[in-house]
């Protein structure tokens, strides 16, 4: 039977969240053994575990149909693939950093300088766009030590909290791109594979949507119901049910993570009591 081949990172910053996403979509991939390829028992997909740098090439060659990779790696490899879905995890940025004692006054600083990076293509196009000529030194791994050992004047690397830069005596001066994990694919999928992909996407979106929202239950005096309903954005409108206690109701709704604390505060001010917040497992809208 036809199955969709999905490339995931074998081990590293993307692996766990990639596997969680597939598993939460109800796909049983028995990842305990971590063989190179494993077939799901209840959905027509096969998972291939690879180094993240190889994923764009495998998808481009059609060895895998889709893959989950950091947008930074996706852009660097520059294959003619498309982003099918942004996944919101492994967020980071690709930045230029210089030694902390350097006097940095702007991008002209890099003219004629040596910059160490594992992302030469992204850096090259950034420098060209800005009309800067610099020497790019491609190195794999431990880029942050390059200035300290005299190999480069600056680095261009992935930054998340920034603590690696600080502990190597560097400061971030330009953010060139922001990145998150993305689901990527080629264009030549067969009809059968496109159908599997669309069923998979439906599930992934339901999982993602659920993660972004919380289910909220509260008690409210009946005379406050209109005000409280106005605060709750909800999917359509909140569910209101009478409580056994005369004059009170129970109100149920869905609140987006981003608005969450603001909404809770307004609800309390409006007289809501006994507020319960519950995670949602899947959400289909
Ligand atoms: O073995 P394989 O080749 O598969 O993995 P890898 O070692 O090349 O990649 P991995 O697992 O380290 O990262 C995979 C992807 O996670 C990257 O391509 C990014 O898209 C994303 N990501 C998110 C990160 C970070 N955050 C991150 N912080 N990748 C690397 N880092 C590095 C950063 O460069 C620094 O050296 O982690 C260190 C700590 O960062 P700070 O800024 O928090 O100190
Ligand atoms: Zn890698």
Could you report the per-residue pLDDT of 196-243, keeping only the tens digit for each? 999 999 999 999 999 999 999 999 999 999 999 999 876 678 999 999
Least confident of 13-17, 36-40, 156-160: 36-40
Q: What is the 8-class DSSP label of residue 101?
A: T
For 27-31, what is the mean pLDDT? Answer: 83
CA of 232 to the centre of ligand 2 (A): 44
DSSP track, 113-157: -EEEES-HHHHHHHHHHTT---EEEE--S-GGGTTTTTS-SEEEE
Q: What is the pLDDT of residue 103?
A: 95
Q: 145 pLDDT band (50/70/90 cuts)?
A: very high
191-212 helix and 15-24 helix, angle to the nearest 10 degrees = 100
User: Which residue's alpha carbon is at the smallest distance from atom 8 of ligand 1?
Assistant: 52
* Residue 93: other Cβ atoms inside 10 A: 17
Q: Is the pLDDT of residue 105 over 90?
A: yes
Cα gap 156→158, rounded to integer Å: 7
Q: What is the pLDDT of residue 31?
A: 61
Q: Verify whether ligand 1 is closer than 6 Å to residue 15 (CB atom).
A: no
Q: Which of 115, 103, 110, 156 is nearest to 131 (CA)?
A: 110
CATH top class, domain 92-179? alpha beta
**Residue 80 C-alpha from the chain's centroid:** 21
Cα gap 200→40, rounded to integer Å: 12
Q: Is the pLDDT of residue 187 over 90?
A: no
For 67-87, what is the mean pLDDT? Answer: 97
Decide if domain 213-279 falls under CATH 3.30.70.120: yes
In the chain, what are the domain boundaries?
4-89+181-189, 92-179, 213-279
Tell me whether domains 92-179 and 213-279 share a fold: no
Q: What is the pLDDT of residue 33?
A: 56
For 182-208, what is the mean pLDDT? Answer: 96
pTM: 0.92
Mutate to test the pocket of ligand 1, among 71, 89, 92, 169 (most ligand atoms within 8 A of CB): 92
Q: Verify whether ligand 1 is closer than 6 Å to residue 18 (CB atom).
A: no
CA of 196 to the centre of ligand 2 (A): 28
Decide if domain 4-89+181-189 falls under CATH 3.40.190.10: yes
Q: Verify whether ligand 1 is closer than 6 Å to residue 116 (CB atom).
A: no
For 109-116, what is the mean pLDDT? Answer: 98
Q: Is the pLDDT of residue 24 over 70?
A: yes
The string over 141-150, giving b where at least 16 C-beta atoms fall within 10 Å of a residue's C-beta and e elsewhere, is eebbebbeee
User: Which residue's alpha carbon is at the smallest distance from atom 39 of ligand 1?
Assistant: 164
**What atom in ligand 1 is closest to the CA of residue 70?**
20
Q: What is the pLDDT of residue 235?
A: 66
User: Which residue's alpha carbon is at the smallest distance from atom 22 of ligand 1?
Assistant: 90
User: Which residue's alpha carbon is at the smallest distance from atom 17 of ligand 1?
Assistant: 70
Which ligand sits nearest to residue 10's alpha carbon? 1
Q: What is the pLDDT of residue 258?
A: 87
User: Distances in Å between the alpha carbon of 36 and those of 9, 31, 39, 283?
Assistant: 11, 10, 10, 32
CA of 212 to the centre of ligand 2 (A): 28
Mean model confidence pLDDT for the chain:
95
- Angle of CA points 6, 207, 209, to nearest 5°: 125
The rounded percent of the chain whose pLDDT value lies above 70 is 98
Mutate to test the pocket of ligand 1, among 49, 86, 158, 161 (most ligand atoms within 8 A of CB): 158
Cα gap 128→110, rounded to integer Å: 12
Q: Verify whether ligand 1 is closer than 6 Å to residue 162 (CB atom).
A: yes
Q: Verify whether ligand 1 is closer than 6 Å to residue 171 (CB atom).
A: no
* Residue 46: other Cβ atoms inside 10 A: 16
For 259-276, what is the mean pLDDT? Answer: 94
Q: Verify whether ligand 1 is closer than 6 Å to residue 52 (CB atom).
A: yes
């Amino acid at each position: 039977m036809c199955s969709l081949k999905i490339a995931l990172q074998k081990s590293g910053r993307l692996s766990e969240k990639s596997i969680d996403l597939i598993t939460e979509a109800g796909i049983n991939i028995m990842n305990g053994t971590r063989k190179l390829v494993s077939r799901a028992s209840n959905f027509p997909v096969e998972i291939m575990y690879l180094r993240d740098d190889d994923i764009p090439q495998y998808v481009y060659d059609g060895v895998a149909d889709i893959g989950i990779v950091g947008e930074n790696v996706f852009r660097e490899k520059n294959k003619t693939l498309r982003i099918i879905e942004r996944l919101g995890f492994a967020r980071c940025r690709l930045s230029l950093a210089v030694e902390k004692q350097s006097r940095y006054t702007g991008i002209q600083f890099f003219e004629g300088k040596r910059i160490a990076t594992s992302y030469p293509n992204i850096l090259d196009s950034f420098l060209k766009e800005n009309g800067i000529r610099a020497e790019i030194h491609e190195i794999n791994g431990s880029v942050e030590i390059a200035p300290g050992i005299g190999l480069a004047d600056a680095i261009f690397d992935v930054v998340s909290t920034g603590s690696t830069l600080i502990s190597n005596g560097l400061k971030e001066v330009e953010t060139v791109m922001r990145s998150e994990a993305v689901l990527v694919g080629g264009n030549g999928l067969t009809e059968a594979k496109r159908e599997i992909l669309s069923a998979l996407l439906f599930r992934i979106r339901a999982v993602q949507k659920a993660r972004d929202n919380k289910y909220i239950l509260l008690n409210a005096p009946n005379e406050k119901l209109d005000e409280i309903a106005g605060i709750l954005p909800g999917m359509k409108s909140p569910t209101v049910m009478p409580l056994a206690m005369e004059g009170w109701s129970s109100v149920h709704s869905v609140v987006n993570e981003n608005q969450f604390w603001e909404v809770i505060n307004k609800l309390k001010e409006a007289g809501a009591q006994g507020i319960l917040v519950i995670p949602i497992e899947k959400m289909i809208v």
